[in-house]
Chain A
């Protein structure tokens, strides 16, 4: 895996909740992919946690939990 590759981890739980954790993203890349995931999953974001790296210009990492 190249150092620039971005990793997306999904944790799927009972009740239709899916947590998404994104690592290795830069700039707006994380938010763009998050929006695409949310749209394609037909999901509603019910919780969002921003990691400290979010405030680093070079690294944008989010965790969201979505329903459906």
Chain B
């Protein structure tokens, strides 16, 4: 028997999460209301999500729909089918880093910071990026 695992995350901004998933090469669907995920056919515990990485669409697609469901506290929970073993904690960590990078880019734009050098991926998977605030 297979079922969805629920992974709590600290991600709260849908736009940045969508950008992060697309940056990792995934097809992404956004919905105003949570839609049912197409999981293992015999799983009776239906799951719903507003942000969906649909199954079998694109090179990096999961075997079953993968979703991010908005929680009451504003954060997203990742809903990942057991059989999609490629989408475990390591993958979710990459999503979190890409999400953080998307947030930093958005914030830097808002504050008028200028990109100093292309982002660097460190050996542990962290991303280092430098901006400059030009003197007036």
**A10 B96 Cβ-Cβ under 8 A:** no
In the complex, how many angstroms separate the beta carbon of B23 from the nearest chain A beta carbon?
12
B residues adjacent to A (C-beta < 8 A): 9-13, 93-94, 96-97, 99-101, 103-104, 107, 110-111, 113, 116, 122, 125-135
**A12 B111 Cβ-Cβ under 8 A:** no
A contacts with B, residue count (CB < 8 A): 25
Q: Which residues of B contact A7 (CB under 8 A)?
A: 116, 130-133
Residue of A nearest to B102 (CB): A12
Docked Cα-Cα span, A20 to B127, in Å, equals 12
Name the prevailing secondary structure of the B interface residues.
mixed
A residues adjacent to B (C-beta < 8 A): 1-2, 4-18, 33, 36-37, 40-42, 67-68
**A5 B107 Cβ-Cβ under 8 A:** no
Docked Cα-Cα span, A36 to B133, in Å, equals 13
In the complex, how many angstroms separate the beta carbon of A41 from the nearest chain B beta carbon?
6
Q: Which residues of A contact B125 (CB under 8 A)?
A: 14
In the complex, how many angstroms separate the beta carbon of B128 from the nearest chain A beta carbon?
5
Known contacts being A2-B134, A7-B116, A68-B10, is A18 close to B104, with CB within 8 Å? Answer: yes
Docked Cα-Cα span, A40 to B13, in Å, equals 12
Q: Which residues of B contact A11 (CB under 8 A)?
A: 122, 126-128
**A10 B93 Cβ-Cβ under 8 A:** no
Residue of A nearest to B129 (CB): A10
Interface centre among A6, A7, A16, A36 (most CB of B within 10 A): A16
Known contacts being A37-B111, A40-B111, is A8 close to B103, with CB within 8 Å? Answer: no
Docked Cα-Cα span, A12 to B125, in Å, equals 9
Known contacts being A16-B9, A18-B100, A42-B12, is A5 close to B133, with CB within 8 Å? Answer: yes
Q: Which residues of A contact B130 (CB under 8 A)?
A: 7-10
Q: Which residues of B contact A41 (CB under 8 A)?
A: 103-104, 107
